[in-house]
Chains A and B, each alone.
Chain A
């Protein structure tokens, strides 16, 4: 197996951290979670570690521990801000780090998502991305009241009925992403001509109707926002199962997977690559990032204690969809190196508490990875795509110019 490329590293920001009791950590800024200063400080911290990007977690509905709807708990963080707006608020105050908010596709308009992320790319100077999220929850559908989502009872998502529901939702998501991407291309890069002689501000032959017609919706275009600096901002998604790997292989640039060990990682990467080939994208770079929740400290014992203390506060052993890592930054570096050989191209770390575990990443893990020569010393490319080795894509409509519209 060839030696892996230099490592890519992102962090996932969520409230006070990913542990439900993270807000009770002595350093947690629990009463500032809705302030711009809080988010600015976190993203700047990520930037001091020259991390590739941050994702900003979101969902349409309020945080809950129940799949059936909001719970009535008082002991966890409830309430949050729209992630795209948070990303836009921090973008002008940072220079290097990518900003990748979650936006849900199931109830939102692709036209709105497309112009929001394109604008985020403008305000960040080419550092924008988007984490696609599907909502399979009826109680979230009720916030919009325009459709119902068939209930997926129990936990067996592989049962035929549940699988069919998920498949539909992910197919719809694929259409959504396709519309967003077409809208990003609906202006050619040089469409604005400001031709004083003919009085034309744009060359309308370089603006394109996308004319998308699908099972769920049709969208005409073009966008109201000119093509963003990256051409196509980074599209990412979290995926746990085949139906989601398929969407990822078809539609995204970075997929976050939750492999529990190297063997698991190898299996998942192989599946993603197969789907990628099936989607006709084998020549394109598709990043597969491993997701890990991390609880870090200078020594093994303190890290375990930190987590045990938080667990005691919430009266439950913390579990997650992603593997949980507890230990020192150096041990985490070993783990990441190990997983890399299974074909993962990078990692997204979910700090158990903020800002503690984020600082342990930027000030502990990052120097360690640099010592090992597998992580950058500074930002080398100015755009997020550039940093991830992704080219600025050609415009899919540009080739059609020259003849009649």
Chain B
């Protein structure tokens, strides 16, 4: 289905790799118990992380979002990092201490209003000189809704409906200024060239709004759009509207399947494959030799999945209390509780288990075949794509996956924050640069430039009814 791995010349031109860095925050990737692990909230951590990413000429820094502390079994989940900063505020501050690095923030389309979000993104784009990106996520749950004054949550089936209308509305707001309205002619006393700049009106199933948007057109016109959902509707939404997908599928086979599927959906929307980048999340473990790296990776995985964490993971699929089970023992002989998942709340990943009984069967078979304890099984099935090896091995593997269309690049998630990116920047990036598959300097100033996306067309002047 794709070309064999080759480091030598092939007929196809070599793709340029896109690399980004995810400040990990709330998940079990982060080994917070490591003495090198720093604060996840102090600004200095974000500054160091961002400056390393920029030194390495990465495309962007990425932040996830969760609007309620996660709970399990009715109690706040305390085994991982808990707490994170506000996305817009931290990205605006990072714009002050970086010059080119893109700044991508996850912002939910359910618990927000388009006028406010459009205002914030347009402001961030101005304040960063055109480096803003918006990862549109669609969590809809009532649990998170309890933090909002309107209890604003949705039926699951409406999540992309709202997301679509939200985006279209935000679009209309971004496009309500063309970019040439401010003339600031002191002599003649003309500040604005157009008396109706920013005028918009929108009436649909979700929004009934009108007025004048107050942020003039930003350097990129609008933020770069990312999407992160995985369902059929999610992929369709991405194909129709996104510039990039933050995906979970980073291995060769799963990556290629996802890549082919999503890029195949583009023609329907009159778009070409270069207009939607696929960027899976991946972790990495580096050492001088492959052997050392493998050994260390094993240690890291055991730090990431303690016995307690393993039981909690298992509960998320089983949807019941398993605290009496021994993580070093076999899987429970009881079956998962089917129905609404109530044991774990505020976790996007739980929704991945679409058929818990089937998944449980597969896990049982796997555990049986490989003689795995609960903890060992969890280490196996919850692992994300991880690049493990010497810098050369890791560079090879990344290059190979990208050239074979498993992705267009990776969003790297170090397991040590904030300094876990340094080794990658210092050791792997130079190899990729030497091979000519990764930039040695930024060619442009905006994130769209870094991603190789064409500048947006300026909206037509006759935009007002």
Residues of A bordering B, CB below 8 Å: 21, 23-24, 26, 28, 30-31, 34-36, 40, 60-63, 69-70, 72-82, 84-86, 88-93, 107-112, 115-116, 118-120, 122-123, 125, 139-140, 142-146, 179, 187, 192, 194, 196, 199-204, 207, 216-222, 224-226, 313
Q: Are A74 and B33 in contact (CB under 8 A)?
A: no
A88 CA to B86 CA, complexed, in Å = 11
Most B C-beta atoms less than 10 A away, residue of A34, A207, A218: A34
| B186 proximity list for chain A (CB < 8 A) | 23-24, 26, 28, 30
Q: Are B33 and A34 in contact (CB under 8 A)?
A: no
A233 CA to B96 CA, complexed, in Å = 22
CB distance from A59 to the nearest CB of B (A): 8
Instruction: Identify 10 residue pairs between A and B in the complex whose beta-carbon atoms are under 8 Å apart, listed by A's number.
Output: A21-B189, A61-B212, A75-B189, A78-B191, A84-B88, A118-B85, A122-B42, A146-B150, A201-B79, A226-B41
| B230 proximity list for chain A (CB < 8 A) | none
| B84 proximity list for chain A (CB < 8 A) | 224-225
A110 CA to B146 CA, complexed, in Å = 12
| B95 proximity list for chain A (CB < 8 A) | 36, 89
Given A24-B186, A119-B86, residue A79 in contact with residue B126 (CB < 8 A)? no
| A81 proximity list for chain B (CB < 8 A) | 122-123, 126-127, 215
Q: Are A219 and B306 in contact (CB under 8 A)?
A: no
Q: Which of A76, A119, A204 is the one whose CB lies under 8 Å from B85?
A: A119
| A187 proximity list for chain B (CB < 8 A) | 83
With A93-B96, A115-B85 already in contact, 14 other A-B pairs whose C-beta atoms are closer than 8 Å: A30-B191, A36-B126, A73-B195, A80-B215, A82-B119, A86-B92, A123-B43, A142-B211, A144-B113, A145-B208, A145-B210, A192-B82, A220-B68, A220-B146
Given A122-B43, A199-B79, A201-B81, residue A224 in contact with residue B66 (CB < 8 A)? yes
Task: Please tell me if B163 contacts chain A, counting CB pairs below 8 Å.
Answer: no
| B150 proximity list for chain A (CB < 8 A) | 109, 146, 217
| B208 proximity list for chain A (CB < 8 A) | 145
Of all chain A residues, the one with the shortest Cβ separation from B83 is A226
For chain B, residues 144 to 194, give those with C-beta under 8 angstroms from any C-beta of chain A: 146-151, 177, 181-182, 184, 186, 189-194
| A88 proximity list for chain B (CB < 8 A) | 88-90, 92-93
| B210 proximity list for chain A (CB < 8 A) | 142-143, 145
CB distance from B296 to the nearest CB of A (A): 19
Of all chain A residues, the one with the shortest Cβ separation from B47 is A92
Given A111-B147, A122-B41, residue A225 in contact with residue B83 (CB < 8 A)? yes
Q: Are A123 and B93 in contact (CB under 8 A)?
A: yes
Q: Are A199 and B306 in contact (CB under 8 A)?
A: yes
CB distance from A72 to the nearest CB of B (A): 4
A137 CA to B341 CA, complexed, in Å = 43
CB distance from A310 to the nearest CB of B (A): 11
A24 CA to B67 CA, complexed, in Å = 44
Q: Are B67 and A35 in contact (CB under 8 A)?
A: no
Task: Please tell me if B120 contacts chain A, counting CB pairs below 8 Å.
Answer: yes
For chain B, residues 103 to 121, give those with C-beta under 8 angstroms from any C-beta of chain A: 111-113, 115-116, 119-120
A40 CA to B96 CA, complexed, in Å = 9
Task: Please tell me if B226 contacts chain A, counting CB pairs below 8 Å.
Answer: no
Given A31-B184, A89-B93, residue A224 in contact with residue B189 (CB < 8 A)? no
Q: Are A34 and B126 in contact (CB under 8 A)?
A: yes
CB distance from A370 to the nearest CB of B (A): 30
Top 10 A-B residue pairs of the complex, sorted by shortest distance between their CB atoms: A217-B149, A72-B195, A88-B92, A119-B89, A30-B184, A123-B93, A62-B214, A145-B209, A119-B86, A82-B123
A21 CA to B96 CA, complexed, in Å = 30
Q: Are A207 and B191 in contact (CB under 8 A)?
A: no
| A73 proximity list for chain B (CB < 8 A) | 192, 195
Q: Which of A24, A72, A194 is the one whose CB lies under 8 Å from B33?
A: A194
Q: Are B212 and A70 in contact (CB under 8 A)?
A: yes
Q: Which of A91, A204, A219 is the one whose CB lies under 8 Å from B96?
A: A91
Q: Are A202 and B148 in contact (CB under 8 A)?
A: no
Q: Which of A61, A75, A202 is the one whose CB lies under 8 Å from B211?
A: A61
A70 CA to B148 CA, complexed, in Å = 29
Given A81-B126, A146-B150, residue A92 in contact with residue B43 (CB < 8 A)? yes
Task: Please tell me if B308 contacts chain A, counting CB pairs below 8 Å.
Answer: yes
Q: Are B198 and A62 in contact (CB under 8 A)?
A: yes
Q: Are A74 and B211 in contact (CB under 8 A)?
A: no
Q: Which of A23, A118, A202 is the one whose CB lies under 8 Å from B86?
A: A118
- The 0/1 profile, CB within 8 Å of A marked 1, for residues 288-310 of chain B is 00000000000000000010110
Task: Please tell me if B436 contacts chain A, counting CB pairs below 8 Å.
Answer: no
Q: Are B149 and A216 in contact (CB under 8 A)?
A: yes
A170 CA to B340 CA, complexed, in Å = 41
Task: Please tell me if B255 contacts chain A, counting CB pairs below 8 Å.
Answer: no
A239 CA to B95 CA, complexed, in Å = 34
Q: Are A78 and B192 in contact (CB under 8 A)?
A: yes
Of all chain B residues, the one with the shortest Cβ separation from A80 is B214
Of all chain A residues, the one with the shortest Cβ separation from B197 is A78
Q: Are B209 and A143 in contact (CB under 8 A)?
A: yes
A313 CA to B186 CA, complexed, in Å = 10
Q: Are B92 and A201 in contact (CB under 8 A)?
A: no
A200 CA to B308 CA, complexed, in Å = 10
Task: Please tell me if B213 contacts chain A, counting CB pairs below 8 Å.
Answer: yes
Q: Are B146 and A77 in contact (CB under 8 A)?
A: no
- The 0/1 profile, CB within 8 Å of A marked 1, for residues 13-47 of chain B is 00000000000000000001100000001110001
CB distance from A17 to the nearest CB of B (A): 13
A34 CA to B43 CA, complexed, in Å = 24
Of all chain B residues, the one with the shortest Cβ separation from A175 is B149
Q: Are B88 and A194 in contact (CB under 8 A)?
A: no
Given A23-B186, A125-B43, A196-B33, residue A109 in contact with residue B69 (CB < 8 A)? no
Most A C-beta atoms less than 10 A away, residue of B116, B147, B186: B147
Most B C-beta atoms less than 10 A away, residue of A26, A31, A40, A82: A82
A225 CA to B177 CA, complexed, in Å = 34
Task: Please tell me if B196 contacts chain A, counting CB pairs below 8 Å.
Answer: yes
Q: Which of A28, A89, A217 is the one whose CB lies under 8 Å from B127?
A: A89
| B149 proximity list for chain A (CB < 8 A) | 109-111, 179, 216-219
